[in-house]
Amino acid sequence: MRYLLLCFTLAESFSPRIPTRRPTYNLPASQHIQRCPPLFSGDGIASNYTWHEEAFEIEVTVKVPKDTRAKDIHFKATRDSIDLRLRKDDDDDDEEKILMDPTRPLRGRVVLDGTFWIIHDPEVVLPVDGASSNSSLSHAQVDPFREVTVTIEKDIRTPRDDFDVIEYDWKGVYKNDEEEVSYRKYDEPEELNVREYAASLG
């Protein structure tokens, strides 16, 4: 019995082992699928809001009257919409203005824990050397307002496999916003000329 056990142990130790590894796919260069397309930050201007987008979040800014306080703002975020309203409780009239419409779907999904809002005064641009100091101050007097900025954390899903393409950039706030957006500018990647780059290396 001991002799049979010893023979089995020796046979097991000297038996060839086939290494396990993940399968590789030798695709032509033209068929390579990019898993995570690069994101290039951008800005936009719509009829009643502006936005600035980065890799993992997008900031939406709207103007409100100068006397607006935090208690006048109603805010509620869902996974695919933002409800932002301005409420003014006066003795004569109850006004409510929709700043971000909750019935309009956003271009992407929202991370609720990372989405918030702040109210602040607009930044005053200081005059450059040689410019009149009254010019920047007069601009603040002509347009008295405050700003509400909503910071939206974008929900970026985990890729299912190496060939799953993830879209990081929204390139806007709402779907079907072509009619209301007057300006949309995103950084574009530089095209690399392989021949010129190889020639520069000598």
pLDDT of residue 176: 95
Mean pLDDT of 111-129: 84
Using a pLDDT cut of 90, give the percent of the chain over it.
Answer: 48
Class of residue 101 by CB neighbours under 10 A (exposed 0-12, middle 13-18, buried 19+)? middle
pLDDT of residue 35: 47
Q: How far apart are CA 59 and CA 63, in angstroms?
A: 13
Torsion sign over Cα 178, 182, 187, 189: positive
Arithmetic mean of pLDDT over the chain: 77
pLDDT tens string 86-104: 997 664 556 789 999 999 9
In the chain, the amino acid numbered 20 is T
